Amino acid sequence: MLHVLIVEPYTGKRARIKKMVQEMGHIVVGEARDRIEALGLMEQGWPTLLLTDLMLPRLEGLALVRQVYEQRIPVVTIVLSDNTRFDYVRQSMQAGAIDYLLKPVKAEELRRALQRAEERVGYFHAAHREFVQAQQFFERLDLLQPGAVIQKHAEMIQSMQGFEEGQQGERLGLFRMLYAKWHYVLKKHGLNFDEPFSWEREEEAIAYFQRLCEFWIAQSQSASPADSSVKLNVKRACDYIRENYRSDHTLAEVSERFGMSVSYFSVQIKKYTGYSFVNYLNRVRIEKAKELLLQPNLKIYEVAGVVGYDTLQYFNKVFKQAVHMTPGEYRRRLGI
Domain shared by 213 and 158, yes or no? yes
Q: Which domain holds residue 173?
A: 126-219
Question: Residue 78 is part of a domain; what is its CATH number?
Answer: 3.40.50.2300
The average pLDDT across 175-180 equals: 83
- Taking the CB of residue 76, how many other CB atoms lie within 10 A of it? 27
Query: Cα separations (Å) of 282 from 18, 130, 292?
Result: 64, 39, 15
Domain shared by 191 and 294, yes or no? no
* 101: helix, strand or coil: strand
pLDDT above 60: residue 224: no
* 190: helix, strand or coil: coil
For the stretch 66-91, pLDDT in tens is: 888 877 677 899 999 887 777 888 88
Q: Does a structural domain hold residue 261?
A: no
* 144: helix, strand or coil: coil
Residue 203 burial (C-beta neighbours within 10 Å; 0-12, 13-18, 19+): exposed
Q: What is the pTM of this model?
A: 0.50
Q: How confident is the model at residue 7 (pLDDT cuts 50, 70, 90)?
A: very high
Mean pLDDT of the residues in the chain: 84
Q: How confident is the model at residue 196 (pLDDT cuts 50, 70, 90)?
A: confident
Domain shared by 130 and 206, yes or no? yes
DSSP letter at 77 equals: E
For the stretch 160-173, pLDDT in tens is: 887 764 455 667 77
- Residue 64 — φ and ψ, nearest 5°? -65, -45
- Residue 197 — φ and ψ, nearest 5°? -115, 140
Question: Residue 323 is part of a domain; what is its CATH number?
Answer: 1.10.10.60
pLDDT above 70: residue 43: no
Sheet bearing 49-53, strands edge to edge: 27-32, 3-7, 49-53, 76-81, 99-102
For the stretch 266-298, pLDDT in tens is: 888 888 888 899 999 998 999 899 889 988 899
Domain shared by 134 and 155, yes or no? yes
Domain shared by 189 and 290, yes or no? no
The total of structural domains in the chain comes to 3
Containing 169, the helix (H) or strand (E) segment is helix 168-188
